[in-house]
Amino acid sequence: MSVEERDPHTGYLTTGHEWNGIKELNTPVPRAVYFFLIATALFSLGYWILMPAWPFGSGYTKGVLGIDQRQIVSQSIVEAARDRATWTTRIQQASFADIQADPALMMVVRETGPRLFGDNCAACHGADARGNKGFPNLTTNSWLWGGSPEAIAETIRVGINSAHPDSRVSQMLAFGRDGMLQRPDIENVVAYVRSLSHADLATDKTVADRIAAGNTVFANNCASCHGPDGKGDPSVGAPNLTDAFWIYGGDEQTVFDTVWGGRQGHMPTWEDRLSEVDRKILTLYLVDQRMAQ
């Protein structure tokens, strides 16, 4: 088997072996291979000398540059915080009104706010802050717990029905499921509630009668939270029922479902996850966006 032969194309000898027709040339290894093997090995050697590299016993070679990735990270975090301190300290110390009056600070709010909102709030309230089913639209003047900067900041801090000890707590009762109202009463009060934002709802006498009957039901059952005029009460998180904005939907079936089965929304507390400065920026970003509309 070991008969070397010369490959006519390349001129190199074969190794003399053959496997099912496959032969191999005895071509010497190209110089470039040795060159790059040595070059990469030398680079590695240099890198090992400079950087943390080889373990021994309980330690490792630290490298002559003394570089440590943990120190670099801690240091760069300190530096970044120092760079931002020019405005973070001012936002932390100033009142909402003062910040709103300061164009330079409001520029920071407009620059930073969208990222904070996008990374923390958009998942529920939507990238455009216009809300989703079950999650309020934040671009309107209709605020469950008050729309002043202080109230918004507090809602962000403690959340709604959250685990925070100071959490805002509210619940829409399940009037139908828990037997507080009978079905006809619910249908009437639904008609009444919808008429508050749809003046033209009463197209015929049947509907008008239902709205009138619903008015009484409302006064006896709903007004304690939503107010006698249905305009809501931010101190208990009761929504305004007379405007065009609905958290779960204002069509007949959805309003019926809300009255029948109740609602209890949830917003997490952000006190542990976002710094005070971040929460202030988010608050001002929302107020600013609303004003821009």
Partner 1 sequence: MIGQLTKGERQLALVILIFLGLVGLAMAAGGRHDPLGAHGALVIVCALAGLMAVIAAYFDPEPDPERLDRYYDDPSKIGIVIAMIWVVVGLFVGDWVAWLLVNPDLTFDAGWASFGRLRPVHTTSVIFGFGGNALIATSFYVMQRTSRARLPDQLSPLFVLFGYNVFCLLAVSGYLIGVTQSKEYAEPEWYADIWLVIVWVTYLVLYLRTLARRKEPHIYVANWYYLAFIVVVAMLHIVNNLAVPVSLGHAKSYSLFAGVQDAMTEWWYGHNAVAFFLTAGFLGMMYYYLPVRAGRPIFSYRLSIISFWGITFFYMWAGSHHLHYTALPQWVQTLGMTFSLMLLVPSWASATNALLTLNGAWHKVRDDATLRFMMVAAVFYGLTTFEGSFMAIRPVNSLSHYTDWTIGHVHAGALGWVAMITFGSIYASVPWLWKRESMYSPRLVEAHFWLALTGTIVYVMAMWNSGIVQGLMWRTYDDSGTLAYSFLDTVIAMHPYYIARAVGGLLFLIGALIGCYNIWMTIRGVPSAAPRVATDTAAESPVAVPAGAAAFRSGE
Residues of this chain that interact with partner 1 (CB under 8 A) are: 1-3, 5, 7, 9-10, 14-15, 17-30, 33, 36-37, 40-41, 43-44, 47-48, 51-55, 60-61, 67-69, 80, 83-84, 87, 107-108, 111-112, 114-115, 117-119, 122, 127
**Residue 110 or 231 with smaller CB distance to partner 1:** 110
**Residue 125 or 210 with smaller CB distance to partner 1:** 125
Residue 113 contacts residue 285 (beta carbons within 8 Å): yes
Q: How far is CA 41 from the centre of its chain?
A: 47
**Residue 73 or 180 with smaller CB distance to partner 1:** 73
Closest CA to 100 of 41, 43, 56, 152: 152
CB of 124 to partner 1, least distance (A): 12
CB crowding 216-240: b at 16 or more within 10 Å, else e: ebbeebbeebbeeebebbbeebbbb
* Residue 289: partners with Cβ closer than 8 Å, 6 or more residues away: 113, 129, 138, 139
The C-alpha atoms of residue 175 and residue 189 are separated, in whole angstroms, by 11
CB of 254 to partner 1, least distance (A): 20
CB of 137 to partner 1, least distance (A): 18
CB of 6 to partner 1, least distance (A): 11
CB of 132 to partner 1, least distance (A): 14
Beta-bridge mates of residue 192: none
The C-alpha atoms of residue 106 and residue 93 are separated, in whole angstroms, by 14
**Residue 118 or 249 with smaller CB distance to partner 1:** 118
**Residue 128 or 209 with smaller CB distance to partner 1:** 128
